[in-house]
Amino acid sequence: MKIEELNAIRDKMKNQVTLRAEDPDSTKVLVAMGTCGIAAGARDVLTAFADGVAENNIEKVMVSQTGCIGNCQLEPIVEILEKGKDKVTYVNMNADKAKEVIEKHLIGGQVVSEYTI
Amino acid sequence: MYRSHVLICGGTGCTSSGSAAIEKALVSEIEKNGLKEEVQVVKTGCFGLCALGPIMIVYPEGTFYSMVKVEDIPEIVEEHLLKGRVVTRLVYQETVTDNGIKSLQDTAFYKKQNRVALRNCGVINPENIDEYIGEGGYQALAKVLTEMSPDDVIQTILDSGLRGRGGGGFPTGMKWKLARNIVKDADQKYVCCNADEGDPGAFMDRSVLEGDPHVVLEAMAIAGYAIGATQGYIYVRAEYPIAVERLEIAIKQAREYGLLGNNIFGTDFSFDIGLRLGAGAFVCGEETALMTSIEGNRGEPRPRPPFPAEKGLFQKPTILNNVETYANIPQIILNGSDWFASMGTEKSKGTKVFALGGKIHNTGLVEVPMGTTLRTVIEEIGGGIPNGKKFKAAQTGGPSGGCIPAEHMDIPIDYDNLISIGSMMGSGGLIVMDEDNCMVDIAKFFLEFTVDESCGKCTPCRIGTKRMYEMLDKITRGQGTLEDIDKLEELCYYIKQNSLCGLGQTAPNPVLSTLRYFRDEYVAHVVDKKCPAGVCKHLLSFEIDPEKCKGCTLCSRVCPAGAISGAVKTPHVIDKDKCLKCGACIEKCKFGAISKK
Ligand SMILES: Cc1cc2nc3c(=O)[nH]c(=O)nc-3n(C[C@H](O)[C@H](O)[C@H](O)COP(=O)(O)O)c2cc1C
Ligand code: SF4
Ligand code: SF4
Ligand code: FES
Ligand code: FES
């Protein structure tokens, strides 16, 4: 093995293992996964966020789920909690909108206000 | 891409409480719920909280489930992994707060810890080399081989101030330097790892091997480069089957990647490692005995000098380091000696892992900076002593160490401080004792251990420890005299001075330190014929208080000796000649009528 190969494995695995390093400063993406959320397609949204964050190598973002928020007609709901900023709530999400939020909000730092409430 | 990782502990503690069945149930439930592509199950090594096992942590939230049962798995998978609702009922209750669930990292147990040697334990899958590499594994070896000379490596270790974690506290860099320079034209040298861990109550080395085996391999390769050796041996006790298996897997994977073997990273450095299993004799942890055992002979110590740095394994220059010592090496190389030296006290740098046990709330493994006080370890991290009992002493260093009484609780723990108060660091066993422990009995326990484990090669140890044990036994039976105590003490010094190896030289320590701090307890046994803590059976007498006894007859029914008599609803009486002092009656009596004195 060459050092370049070692580094390649390290970089490939990094996304994997950093999931287990809790960083209190990281931004949290919470997908509501109550029964209604799952019925409305929250699973696809969650997967889209998880994959998108990994593919784009976005650091300090943790994708997780919460339970039902109690707004079933607005599901799938996604909350983004960034340190020192107000909570942003996206509603009626789907996988495509998720990709857009990843690009504009998580990478670009701009809230996609047309999807919020 | 997995969005969630479920870590399940596969250390010895959790495996014995059933984590393998839980892992199986978890995998099948996850599959059933269609989460196979999203949730990864990772079997890790010990988290250090074995008493709470089987242990399971769900990331990215860091939710900590303790004492998990197979029946709980469907609920955890469906509620938590599928619907995102933590199953609060099953979560470790210390992490439950009014504002939701804290992560394990925020509990009192973890907060004051500083994990260097244990950094990957309970974090990575020890059977997957890629996970170790993902955490920066083998980067230190790469750095050493391509950017540093052997002398640079040794200087870095010297500057870091790292001292051996196997008990003696010898400066590691010094040991390497001697082995590098002492024999100029050696055709072969060896790097050995001491994973014998014989101290009863210690299991930190086991946890490192089970949770992060590659760190030991990487460190040994670095040591090999530093001293000029191409072959390493790990001497591990056969009673650690999980550790042995993980080491075998790790060595195989490292060879496949070319991280062990010839021309590592394309350099002209070659290094390989073999495993040697020990039968578990305590004396085989002593360095010369260990090497004799690797050579295929009976594990008996031999006189030093010559020291191993000059004539060690197969008469070749050899270094031997402890597992935990090695676990620090890659981090020192990567982060620098200043980083390491910034932790700890003036003469003891870095951190130390302790196995907390005995009368303490949080039993388990803790890693704290050197210089942390015993009070912090016991009261804050350990969560104090259960049942409102009073702290009496902490035993460190196992059969070679001694007791630290309450008056020294605020002393910063390091090698030299412990020695100055008559104990020693040892490998890191830390047993907490409360008012119900008899110090003479504790000393007797350790002496019984040494008598069993003495290899018998030299007389002071073989016969001396036996005599000591007999005297202690006599004292606990109430047959001792004040003169016996003096004779016992004299014998201690004699054995210390005249034994061949460390086993004999340190065997009297448990007696000397209890004599130093708890002599009054010894005196109570011989003069008053009493055991103040109520432990030594021969000095106890069980009595029923006729005022409190309601005559419920429970006690007489449990007494195995038929020593209790009395009619229903009249006070019962214990026949002292028949009583076996088993204590069964005390536990049964609902009225607190029975006492032992
Ligand atoms: C009786 C006896 C038992 C020992 N058992 C161990 C042991 O189980 N593990 C260990 O690392 N060192 C043990 N030691 C200490 C070793 O002899 C040796 O000092 C140590 O492994 C050196 O490594 P270090 O410098 O990294 O601590 C023992 C010593 C004696 C005298
Ligand atoms: S001191 Fe004890 S263990 Fe050591 S060589 Fe002598 S008899 Fe054996
Ligand atoms: S201590 Fe045991 S043997 Fe003695 S009286 Fe009680 S139950 Fe019987
Ligand atoms: S073996 Fe599981 S926490 Fe120690
Ligand atoms: S039988 Fe006497 S109090 Fe229990």
Band of residue B103 on the pLDDT scale cut at 50, 70, 90: confident
B585 and B578 Cβ atoms separated by less than 8 Å:
no
Band of residue B438 on the pLDDT scale cut at 50, 70, 90: very high
Band of residue A20 on the pLDDT scale cut at 50, 70, 90: confident
Q: pLDDT tens digits, residue range B73-92?
A: 999 999 899 888 889 899 98
Q: pLDDT tens digits, residue range B243-254?
A: 999 999 999 999
Band of residue B163 on the pLDDT scale cut at 50, 70, 90: very high
Task: Give the H or E element holding residue B159.
Answer: helix B150-160
Among B188-197, B418-427, B573-582, which range has the highest average pLDDT? Answer: B188-197
Instruction: Work out the average pLDDT over B415-437.
Output: 93
Contact A1 B258 (CB under 8 A): yes
Q: Which domains does chain A have, with CATH numbers?
A: 23-115 (3.40.30.10)
Q: Does A38 touch chain B (CB under 8 A)?
A: yes
- Cα(B504) to centroid(ligand 2), Å: 5
Residue B384 lies in a domain: yes
Asked if residue B208 and residue B329 are part of one domain, the reply reads yes
Can you give the pLDDT at residue A28?
87
Domain that holds residue B295: 129-341
Q: Which of A6, A7, A79 to mutate against chain B (most B CBs within 10 Å)?
A: A6
Q: Which of B434, B453, B474 is the last residue of a domain?
A: B434
On the CB side of A22, how many CA atoms lie within 13 Å of its CA? 16
Ligand 3 atom having least distance to the Cα of B578: 3
Question: Which residue does chain B place closest to A54, by CA atoms?
Answer: B1
Asked if residue B467 and residue B575 are part of one domain, the reply reads no
Q: pLDDT tens digits, residue range B555-566?
A: 999 999 999 999
Can you give the pLDDT at residue A85?
85
Residue B97 belongs to a domain with what CATH number? 3.40.30.10
Asked if residue B214 and residue B155 are part of one domain, the reply reads yes
Asked if residue B239 and residue B200 are part of one domain, the reply reads yes
Q: Can you tell me the distance from the alpha carbon of B595 to that of B586, in angstroms, rounded to the nearest whole number?
A: 7
Count of domains in chain B?
5
Tokens of B14: 């959790």
Asked if residue B467 and residue B485 are part of one domain, the reply reads yes
Task: Give the H or E element holding residue B393.
Answer: strand B391-396
Q: pLDDT tens digits, residue range B9-49?
A: 999 999 999 999 999 999 999 999 988 988 999 999 998 88
Question: Which residue does chain A place closest to B257, by CA atoms?
Answer: A1
Ligand nearest to the CA of B558: 3
Which residues have CB under 6 Å of ligand 3?
Answer: B 542, 558-559, 561, 563-564, 574, 579-585
Residue B460 belongs to a domain with what CATH number? 1.20.1440.230
Can you give the pLDDT at residue B102?
78
The residue to mutate among B322, B450, B495, B501, having the most atoms of ligand 1 within 8 angstroms of its beta carbon, is B322
Residue B124 lies in a domain: no
Q: Judging by DSSP bridges, how do beta strands B231-237 and B272-278 pair with one another?
A: parallel
Tokens of B250: 């790790």
Residue by residue, DSSP assigns B178-236 as HHHHSSTT-S--EEEEEE---STT--HHHHHHHH-HHHHHHHHHHHHHHHT-SEEEEEE
Residue B391 lies in a domain: yes
Residue B534 lies in a domain: no
Place of tokens 């204590």: B583
Encoded amino acid at A87, one letter: K
Q: Which of B434, B455, B485 is the last residue of a domain?
A: B434
Residue B265 has pLDDT above 80, yes or no: yes
Asked if residue B282 and residue B153 are part of one domain, the reply reads yes
Q: Does A56 touch chain B (CB under 8 A)?
A: no
Asked if residue B224 and residue B190 are part of one domain, the reply reads yes
- For chain B, the average pLDDT equals 94
Instruction: Work out the average pLDDT over A34-59.
Output: 84
Residue A103 has pLDDT above 90, yes or no: yes
- By Cβ distance, the residue of B37, B123, B130 closest to A13 is B130
Asked if residue B498 and residue B583 are part of one domain, the reply reads no
Contacts of B82 in chain A (CB under 8 A): 33, 38
Question: Which residue does chain B place closest to A43, by CA atoms?
Answer: B82
Residue B346 lies in a domain: no
Asked if residue B310 and residue B365 are part of one domain, the reply reads no
Residue B297 lies in a domain: yes
Residue B423 belongs to a domain with what CATH number? 3.10.20.600
Asked if residue B362 and residue B333 are part of one domain, the reply reads no
Band of residue A16 on the pLDDT scale cut at 50, 70, 90: confident
Contacts of A63 in chain B (CB under 8 A): 3, 60
Residue B135 lies in a domain: yes
Can you give the pLDDT at residue B100?
75
Can you give the pLDDT at residue B311?
94
Point out the least confidently predicted range of A43-47, B457-461, B499-503. A43-47
> CA dist B106 to A22, B48, B369, Å?
10, 15, 18
Closest C-alpha residue for ligand 3 atom 6: B585
Asked if residue B324 and residue B248 are part of one domain, the reply reads yes
Contact B60 A62 (CB under 8 A): yes
Residue B215 lies in a domain: yes
Band of residue A69 on the pLDDT scale cut at 50, 70, 90: low
Q: Can you tell me the distance from the alpha carbon of B140 to that of B131, in angstroms, rounded to the nearest whole number?
A: 15
Instruction: Work out the average pLDDT over B295-314.
Output: 93
Band of residue B344 on the pLDDT scale cut at 50, 70, 90: very high
pTM: 0.89
Q: Does B303 touch chain A (CB under 8 A)?
A: no
Asked if residue B510 and residue B583 are part of one domain, the reply reads no
**Maximal C-alpha separation, chain B:** 89
